[in-house]
Chains A and B, each alone.
Chain A
Amino acid sequence: MADLVIPRHILDDLVAHARELAPYECCGLLAGTDNSVSHLYRIKNIVALEGAHNLSSFDPAKVAHLERLSPADRAEIAFVMDMQDFSAAKKDIRNKGLDLQVVYHSHPHDPARPSVTDIKIATDYEEIWPKINLPIPAYLLVSLMHAEPDVKTYWIKAGHVTKADVLVR
């Protein structure tokens, strides 16, 4: 059995989100029941807001890189989720009796692989999920670096990255 089953229309919506925001990174959540995804939640990328990159677990090299860019350009190489949107999505997921399954974001210029930053932040976040009553999600990346979008999904646990088995239908 696949780790996750994602309906084609949800994957299409996710790729459309990535394309709409390119060259900036998009981000969002997928939720459903058992291993079957049924809902997509677009979340605003607010990395351009003052102080946003300082309250995330970005490594010092990434912070230095972000600070060399204008706030608007920061969204080309990073995302920070709007936690107001996140909370609204979390509440809807709970009200509908769904589970959070996936955190997604796009790499407009890079491959569909978690960056060093992605792995560090996902690892830091491992201790937070249970405290906010959510399971540890899979991480899905959409790369737009080639004409054909590339979508890949991973588990990131204790700094280790493994590919998730995803069925699209």
Chain B
Amino acid sequence: MIKVRIPTPLRPLTKGQGEVESKAGSVLEMIEALNSAHPGIKDRLCDETGELRRFVNIYVNEEDIRFLKGKETSLKDGDEVSIVPAIAGG
């Protein structure tokens, strides 16, 4: 099982859950599965071409997927995925 940490701005879509579990084999599969369970999440994470939006990072075990294989990064049992929103302020 893979643990996926959901940041505060996305929790309204996961009924308040800060962590969900996934059995996906890759980041792309994880995003699709998340979107099936919690419709709307994919749009928040990816643009219309399917690319990860510039104001979000996904880390697999503390490594940014942009430095791994992007959405093709494979996942295995015990991995921890963190969806990280942009640092922001006013």
Contact = CB atoms under 8 A, between A and B. Distances in A.
**Size band of the A side of the interface?**
35 or more
A94 to B, nearest CB: 10
B62 A46 contact: no
A157 to B, nearest CB: 16
B57 to A, nearest CB: 5
A121 interface: yes
Interface stretch (A15-23, A48-56, A142-150, A161-169): A48-56
Contacts of B45: 55
B18 to A, nearest CB: 9
Contacts, number: 110
Interface in A103-148: 103, 105, 114-118, 121-122, 124-125, 128, 131-133
A169 to B, nearest CB: 27
Contacts of A27: 87, 89
Nearest to A115: B90
Interface residues of B, number: 25
A70 interface: no
Nearest to A82: B54
B31 interface: no
Contacts of A46: 54-55, 86
30 contacts: A27-B89, A46-B55, A47-B88, A49-B53, A49-B55, A52-B54, A54-B44, A55-B9, A55-B10, A55-B45, A55-B55, A55-B85, A55-B86, A56-B88, A57-B8, A78-B90, A80-B87, A81-B55, A81-B86, A83-B54, A83-B55, A83-B86, A87-B57, A87-B64, A117-B88, A117-B89, A128-B7, A128-B85, A131-B59, A132-B62
Given A55-B56, A124-B8, 12 more contacts: A55-B44, A55-B85, A56-B86, A57-B7, A58-B90, A79-B88, A82-B54, A82-B55, A84-B54, A117-B88, A122-B89, A131-B59
